[in-house]
Structure 1
Amino acid sequence: MKDKFIIGRYLPLDTPIHRLDPRTKLIFVFLFVILIFFAHSFATYLWLFILIMIIVKLSHIKTWFLIKGLTPIWIFLIFTFIMHLFVTKGGVRIFELGFVSIDTNGILEGIYIVLRLMFIMMISTVMTLTTSPIDLTDAFERLLYPLKLVKIPVHQLSMMMSIALRFIPTLMNELDKIILAQKSRGSELSSGTLMNRIKAFIPLLIPLFISAFQRAEDLAIAMEVRGYDANTERTSYRELQWKVKDTIVVLSIIPIAIVLFVLKYLGV
């Protein structure tokens, strides 16, 4: 499980994507996700997929490794597709049985929604794989700095987001240990019908939640012992430096958007 859920991990490599300012990556990912929701044809999704693959290549992340990270959400993606398949109506009706029917619009909308979720997951995973947790926290805090003027605890919010991301692989590791412990006691977790598998996983939730609360408490105690105070001004170990290449990367979203809207306007 832990080898399949890679979002929240960090790969310390020396690549063009790793060397970018973390604020640049956050801004680019935010704008890129917005563009994903404007895509509504196979040509526009192909354009976005090519861009994601270019980013993956520049970050030296193996494509199979990134695709493997989508494994834990396949059930959710399939459920989403099936839901749109039967709910969305319009176009040519290709199947009908009583009150159940499937239209071409339902198929297309289901495919588009699945592609959107996959692309969002992929680009977000690339960001976490190429940005250290400390840099992510600093980037969140710098970008949200204007909110301090209205007394919003920006640093606390940034720290919460960073810890939440880092907890994902930790919890997956803990879930692996619990599954192995249950299997050693004779529990069948990977055989039987889908409903039986779901029922078999329910007993895993209680020890997983207990472990999560224990780890959260240990982390809080460790931070307190080390003198962490969220209300005091803090300095950064590494100062973030915005360079010309960061400006170029952020501005590159403009031609990307232009090509996207041209493809959408042409209806291809």
Structure 2
Amino acid sequence: MRASTLLGSYIPGQTPVHSLDARVKLLALVALGIVLFASEAPYGLVMPAIAVIGGAFLAGLSACDILRALRPSALLLAFGLLACAFVADGTADIVLVGQFGISCQGAARGLFAAVRIVVLIAGSLVMTNTTTPSEVADALSSLMAPFGILGLPVGDLAMLTSVALRFVPLAAEELVRIRDAQRARGVDFAEGNPVVRVRRWLSVLTPLVVALFRRAEDLADAMRERGYRGHGRTRLTRSLRLTDIVVLVIVLAAILAACIA
């Protein structure tokens, strides 16, 4: 499994997106979410989608990388689309059985929501693949620094973010390792009806959860032995470059335009 197909996996590189300040990329991702969910018409998703495609191109990500990253959420997106499309109140545009059928308006609404999520996941992939977990945590600590006056544990929250991002690729690697081990024992995940397949995947998920808890316990012990007592992140103090400032102005303009529209 390529690391570039995983959210939270950093891929070293020398691309323009890699060189951007982590604070700017984090704000850009927040702006992307605001613009996507503030848009009430399909044409409002065009510019965010173009921006994400351009960012992925500059970051060296291919369409296959993005599609592989979307694969884990494909089932959830399909379920949401079907839930919006099928109705049982007699208002269906395409009647299947009795009052049960397909609503064109509901299908369009479900597709609109699915596209929103797809663009947001792709944007998250661009950011996480070009920013190390430490940079993300430091940027978060820097951006949330004003909330520290109110007593918010900014350093601890940033540390939790860093740990969570590091655990994403670790969980994927553990899943692949356990799945391959089960296949070596003769388990075929492609045969049988859906119920049988689910039962076979339980033989993977159960040891996966146990392994992740073991890793978490080892990490907690290591942090305890090194004397971690909270407030564990340092804010970014370097100044923004001209490129960072230009991108930041574009991001703030996008947020303002979404709020006004």
Q: TM-score, normalized by length of structure 1?
A: 0.86
- The letter for the 1-side match of 2:51 is L
Q: Deviations over 1:183-238 (max 9, x none)?
A: 22222212222232222212322211111111111112222333433247x657x7
Aligned with 1:17: secondary structure? helix
CA distance in 1: counterparts of 2:72 and 2:8, whole angstroms: 14
- The letter for the 2-side match of 1:240 is R
CA distance in 2: counterparts of 1:155 and 1:258, whole angstroms: 29
User: Could you tell me which residue of structure 1 aligns to residue 180 of structure 2?
Assistant: 180
Segment drifting more, 223-232 vs 205-214 = 223-232
Aligned mate of 1:242, from 219, 240, 243: 240
Backbone CA RMSD of aligned residues:
2.7
Q: Which segments of structure 1 move beyond 4 Å, counting only runs of 4 or more?
A: 1-5, 87-92, 254-262
Question: Are residue 207 (structure 1) and residue 207 (structure 2) matched?
Answer: yes
CA distance in 1: counterparts of 2:61 and 2:2, whole angstroms: 17
Contact 1:5 1:72 in 2 (8 A): no
Could you say which structure has the higher helix fraction? 2
**What are the residue-to-residue correspondences of 1:126-145 with 2, within 5 Å?**
126-145=126-145
Q: Deviations over 1:46-76 (max 9, x none)?
A: 3322221111112122222122111111111
Contact 2:9 2:128 in 1 (8 A): yes
CA distance in 2: counterparts of 1:193 and 1:67, whole angstroms: 26
Contact 1:8 1:165 in 2 (8 A): yes
CA distance in 2: counterparts of 1:193 and 1:45, whole angstroms: 38
Contact 1:137 1:159 in 2 (8 A): yes
Pairwise CA distance, 1:259? 7.9
Contact 1:189 1:197 in 2 (8 A): yes
CA distance in 2: counterparts of 1:151 and 1:261, whole angstroms: 29
- Any gaps of 5 or more consecutive residues in structure 2? none
User: Could you tell me which residue of structure 1 aligns to residue 160 of structure 2?
Assistant: 160
CA distance in 2: counterparts of 1:210 and 1:24, whole angstroms: 37
User: Could you tell me which residue of structure 2 aligns to residue 76 of structure 1?
Assistant: 76
Contact 1:4 1:70 in 2 (8 A): no
CA distance in 1: counterparts of 2:21 and 2:231, whole angstroms: 26
Could you say which structure has the greater relative contact order, defined with CA pairs below 8 angstroms and 6 or more residues apart?
1
- Any gaps of 5 or more consecutive residues in structure 1? none
Contact 2:3 2:9 in 1 (8 A): no
CA distance in 2: counterparts of 1:32 and 1:77, whole angstroms: 19
Pairwise CA distance, 1:243? 2.6
CA distance in 1: counterparts of 2:88 and 2:215, whole angstroms: 43
CA distance in 2: counterparts of 1:58 and 1:89, whole angstroms: 48
